[in-house]
Amino acid sequence: MSKENPTPPFSYSEAIKRLDEILEDIDQSRIPIDALAEHVVEAAALLKRCKSVLTETEAKVRDVLQDLEKDFGDNDGDP
């Protein structure tokens, strides 16, 4: 495993695509046992990246919805 080359900060879509590739390779036994640990470490880093992106996105959406609620209130369709 190369410590000089950490996993780059993939976008969510890129991370999911790479995770799919890793899982497919593992499922099809295309990863030699000597490289399996490296791929598992990479997959874990990608999962953390995805979780981080989802958490950030959730917070941003929540903030926008709260701002809209402040601006427009909850008038249940009243004009």
Structural contact between residues 19 and 47, judged by C-beta atoms closer than 8 angstroms: yes
Closest by Cα among 26, 27, 56 to 41: 26
Query: For residue 18, what pLDDT band results from cuts at 50, 70 and 90?
Result: very high
**Quick one: pLDDT band at residue 78, thresholds 50, 70, 90?**
low
For residues 27-41, b (16+ Cβ closer than 10 Å) or e, as one string? eeeebeeeeeeebee
By three-state DSSP, how is residue 75 classified?
coil
Q: Where are the domains of the chain?
A: 12-72
By the 10 Å C-beta count (0-12 exposed, 13-18 middle, 19+ buried), 15 is classed as buried
pTM: 0.73
Does residue 3 have a pLDDT over 90?
A: no
